[in-house]
Structure 1
Amino acid sequence: MNRKTSTSLLARHGRTLTVSCLTLLLVGCGTVKPVPYTAEEIKDRVTTDRIGMYADQEPVSGPITFHEAAARALKYNLDYRLKLMEDALSKSLHDVSTYEMLPRVVAGAGYVNRNNDSGGRSIGIEDRVETLRPSTSQERERGLASLTFSWNALDFGVSYYRAQQKADQVLMAEERRRKVAQNVLQDVRNSYWRALGAQQLIDRVDALLVRVNSALVRSKQVEKDGLMPQAQVLAYQRALLDAVNLLTLRRQDLELARAELTALMSIPPGTRYRLAEEPQRALPAMPADVEALELLALQRRPEIMEEWYRKRVTENDIKAAKLLLWPNLNLDAGLQYDSNRYNYNPSWVDVGVRLSWNVLKLVQWPALQRAHEHQNKTDDMRRMALSMAVLTQVRVGTMRYGLSLAELEFAEESLRVDQRLLNYAKAAAKSRFDSELEVIRAEARALLAEYQRYVAYANAQAAWGRVYNSVGLDVLPKEIESNDVKTLASAIESTMQEWQGIVFKTAAK
């Protein structure tokens, strides 16, 4: 076969191979179409998700105290569990990044086949006369194997900075986990005491609503029979309708508080449980040293710590970019094997050292230096702005706590007055219809005052929790998954009492 024929045959085979590859590519692209989930798949997914949301939970075996509610929320709340998973993911990515600093050790093996012999001919440089007949030194079929070690200085340096970034991102994820835990505890504090008030008042509210509605029916009958002046009867009806309206609104508030607490604890909707009828805890006095709280907040707030770690992450980005400006050293060593029987040495060792430097990249140095300085200033300014916001939150939180204590005191005084009015109305009640209505109105006012007192106490608890949250105090042990609800609740209670004694210098109210 002459050279022209071989070239023609090779070209024909090449065109055939190209057309075949293009055909397979087009067929493959045409078979990928959007495939929506079926209704059955959606139904299965919903069933699986509903089971997963409430899986592996301790059953509610008795009345739930405040600290047990906090423990359930922190152990089973889906938002907090998501942050735990993100934390674990960050740690896994950090472990992966540390291995990127290792040199490359690549083992390879292969098989090579061609349809004709590889060879060549030799001609003289000066006279262009062929001196040797065509020959080959390579088999058509042969096996290859190699074990190659490679180390790149710049890759190692960049991988080192990337590993440092992943380590800082692990710490950032931990700070975000702390913040979510603090927010969950704050939400539990906001809803628990309202839900407890709902449990204690809702039956009494329902009973009073029945009496009020009955009194409305009777007042309409009195008006119809003309037993009282119409203006007086209408005034009583207006008062009763106002009482019904206020009691209905308060009843809705009470029911919503319990629903919010149920969601925070990740208890399946419709589950029957009771809150422990524990006495309302004495609230601590106003913090004696607000400046000490501000200093503690600057040290412990998760947002500030996360921002500080972020500065190291961005700084390592600039350091990695600067590192790429320097010369690169590459070391290679490898064991090679070729089964070609024409080789004099079928196995050998390769060793190489290469030094390269893109000198033009040095022009980036001034720009990178300026970017480094500006990035540091921006990160510092962002952290200081956040610190200022934290100080404001501490100040405002303590002020709100003081106001909520005053509101609670006023609500307690109002409750005492309304209860005395109720007792007086009951003592002065006679058989007349207007006296009975006065008793009902007095009962409604007393019940509303009691509700306002529960709300004021819940607001004071929430305000105290906001102070707690603004300082960035943690109440959790290091391990949550390994603790049951009772143990975790005990740990939370102990930690809260310890912080309260140290920071708030509590005094009995």
Structure 2
Amino acid sequence: MPKHVIKPLSLVVASGLLLGACSSLEPKVYTEDENRQRIIQDQARMYGEQEPVSSPITFYEAAARALKYNLDYRLKLMESALAADLKDVSSHEMLPRLVATAGYAGRNNDSGGTSIGIVDRQQSLRASTSEERYRDLYGLGLSWSLLDFGVAYYRTQQKADQMLMAEERRRKVAQNVLQDVRDAYWRAVGAQRLMPEVDRLLARTAQALDAARQAEDRGLLPRQEILAYQRALLDSIYMLTVRRQDLEFAQAELSALISLPPGSRLVLADTQEASLPRAARDIEKLELLSLQNRPEIMEEWYRKRVDQNDLKIAKAQLWPNVSLNWSYQYDSNKYLYNNHWSETGLQVSLNLLRLLQLPALNDAEQTQGETNDMRRVALSMAILTQVRVGALRYELARQEVEFADESLRVDRNLLDYAQAAKSTSIGSELEVIRAEGRYLLSRYQREAAYSRAQAAWGRLYNSVGLDVMPESIDQHDVKTLAREIERTMNAQEAQSLLIGSRAVEGGHALVQP
């Protein structure tokens, strides 16, 4: 079969196959095996490549694990990297376009024709052609447009600002993760201290309740007295059960924040509690720091530039466009005198009707700028309120810790007295259990007060917008990252006027029974 017949036939067959494939496409639901495989892969990505927990976790190690393995923060890291990649992609759009083409053209007959004279209008009856039926075409074209360059230039600036906005969002997520870890860690430490004692007291209370029921069945005490005794024991069991649930939730929350694999045992470093720092009393300095450092304000500031570039792009499309073109062409047609040639061109164009948009664009530019400024000012006011409320809340939390310490001391003395006065009577046993329950509740309240004070300090720290992260997380192991976080936080607290002096009356060591 001749070559000029094979090529068109192959094109027809390929087109038919393509159309048949497109017409046979139908929605395809994932199978159960594919779904199970997806779950296995997702779980592997959740907990894969984590350093094993080989020792009790300190607060700074918990913060390091959360920032290194927390999925929300890792997502923000990827979004920041994606914004940087998109910025690089956008910058290439400013380059001229260099297009290479290659093709094949053919027809089933000759493109010939007759002609007439221009002057005498005499017709030449002999038909002729100067084009082969089948020929190869190649080309290489270079074009540059002033309008495309201007639009790409502003788009690149927008992508750069969006990259900076993504970085500010990453900073905010890191700050929020650190605040959540601080809140959950100290509650989890209290849970680790109190859970065994709560379980032992629950067991003792349950035994005392069984003994009371047996005494009721035997008629050893008046019915009203024994029922009141059982009522008191049931109240104690309810109170302890509720507190135990709170403690379990704290440990579960911390495990989720540091992305601990399911079934892992969470053991925290039960060291001497750090004294609660005193916040600086100069609120104006804290407010100035927050206006300088908060990621939300910086993000809004970058957003203003993004909106301004949108309007600049719209204005750029109003003005004349200049296009420069150069191309090299090749045609295998043997009847041509020159089978290859180059072409150049210059074109200027202007859409006159678009100039009518200029007044509206000027008004929109002014309104957009005022709106962005007002949004940023309103956000700044909200941030200043957070700083003021955070400082007040932290000072009240420190006072609550002092009161909880005093309550704990009194209940410790009451327990000692009840144990010293214990006898063999049921009422005496009940009084000891009550005293132990009150003392355990005071310990819970003291641990809760200290964790609330730590959480209040974390909110104040977060309201100022200070960063605690090194340049790169992936290049540090957990121990090194924890030391970097501790060093950075201590330096920032000292240098940023968050601390006037270390408190000596707050944050006493926990009194053990």
Does residue 1:319 correspond to 2:305, yes or no?
no
Aligned partner (choices 496, 500, 504) of residue 498 of structure 2: 504
Q: Distance in 2 between matches of 1:369 and 1:323?
A: 13
Number of paired residues?
494
Aligned partner (choices 313, 324, 330) of residue 323 of structure 2: 330
TM superposition score normalised by structure 1: 0.93
Over 6 Å off, 4+ runs = 19-26
Aligned partner (choices 409, 431, 435) of residue 402 of structure 2: 409
Residue in 2 that maps onto 1:269: 262
Match of 1:344, SS? coil
Q: One-letter code of the match for 1:504? A: L
Moved more, 271-280 or 485-494: 271-280
Residue in 1 that maps onto 2:28: 35
Residue in 2 that maps onto 1:371: 364
Q: CA deviation at 1:132?
A: 4.9
Contact 1:62 1:273 in 2 (8 A): no
Match of 2:126, SS? strand
1:38-81 deviation line (CA, Å, top 9, x unaligned): 11111111111111110110011111000000000000001100
Residue in 2 that maps onto 1:9: none
Cα 1:30–1:349 shift into 2, 3 Å? closer
Q: Distance in 2 between matches of 1:31 and 1:396?
A: 64
- Map 1:375-386; keep pairs closer than 5 Å: 375-386=368-379
Residue in 2 that maps onto 1:13: none
Residue in 1 that maps onto 2:444: 451
Residue in 1 that maps onto 2:86: 93
Contact 2:154 2:312 in 1 (8 A): yes
Identity of aligned residues (%): 61
Q: CA deviation at 1:500?
A: 1.6
Match of 1:227, SS? coil
Q: Distance in 2 between matches of 1:239 and 1:473?
A: 50
Moved more, 206-215 or 336-345: 336-345
Q: Distance in 1 between matches of 2:53 and 2:286?
A: 37
Q: Distance in 2 between matches of 1:174 and 1:500?
A: 23
Aligned partner (choices 60, 69, 72) of residue 67 of structure 1: 60
Q: Distance in 1 between matches of 2:337 and 2:15?
A: 42
Q: Distance in 2 between matches of 1:30 and 1:347?
A: 42
Does residue 1:198 correspond to 2:191, yes or no?
yes
1:435-454 deviation line (CA, Å, top 9, x unaligned): 12111110111011101100
Q: Distance in 1 between matches of 2:220 and 2:334?
A: 126
Q: CA deviation at 1:32?
A: 2.1
1:370-400 deviation line (CA, Å, top 9, x unaligned): 1111111111111111111111111111111
- Map 1:96-495; keep pairs closer than 5 Å: 96-124=89-117, 129-495=122-488
Q: CA deviation at 1:29?
A: 5.3
Residue in 2 that maps onto 1:11: none
Q: Distance in 2 between matches of 1:261 and 1:353?
A: 66
Contact 2:289 2:464 in 1 (8 A): yes
Q: Distance in 1 between matches of 2:367 and 2:174?
A: 34
Contact 1:151 1:330 in 2 (8 A): yes
Q: Distance in 1 between matches of 2:430 and 2:319?
A: 92
Q: Distance in 2 between matches of 1:346 and 1:383?
A: 64
Structure 1: gaps (5+ residues): 1-18
Q: CA deviation at 1:258?
A: 0.6
Q: Distance in 2 between matches of 1:22 and 1:265?
A: 55
Q: One-letter code of the match for 2:232? A: A
Q: One-letter code of the match for 1:508? A: A
Residue in 1 that maps onto 2:8: none
Cα 1:216–1:282 shift into 2, 3 Å? same
Moved more, 112-121 or 231-240: 231-240
Q: Distance in 1 between matches of 2:15 and 2:110?
A: 28
Q: Distance in 2 between matches of 1:224 and 1:339?
A: 113
Match of 1:121, SS? strand
TM superposition score normalised by structure 2: 0.93
Contact 2:251 2:266 in 1 (8 A): no
Match of 1:343, SS? coil
Moved more, 387-396 or 111-120: 111-120
Contact 2:404 2:449 in 1 (8 A): yes
Contact 1:315 1:376 in 2 (8 A): yes
Structure 2: gaps (5+ residues): 1-11, 505-513
1:220-256 deviation line (CA, Å, top 9, x unaligned): 2233333333333222222211111111111111111
Q: Distance in 1 between matches of 2:402 and 2:120?
A: 116
Q: One-letter code of the match for 1:436? A: E
Moved more, 259-268 or 220-229: 220-229
Q: Distance in 2 between matches of 1:443 and 1:273?
A: 27
Contact 1:68 1:486 in 2 (8 A): yes
Q: One-letter code of the match for 1:323? A: A
Q: Distance in 2 between matches of 1:22 and 1:344?
A: 35
1:460-500 deviation line (CA, Å, top 9, x unaligned): 00011000111111111011010000000000101111122
Cα 1:93–1:277 shift into 2, 3 Å? same
Cα 1:244–1:490 shift into 2, 3 Å? same
Cα 1:487–1:447 shift into 2, 3 Å? same
Contact 1:139 1:340 in 2 (8 A): yes
Q: Distance in 2 between matches of 1:239 and 1:499?
A: 51
Residue in 2 that maps onto 1:4: none
Residue in 2 that maps onto 1:16: none
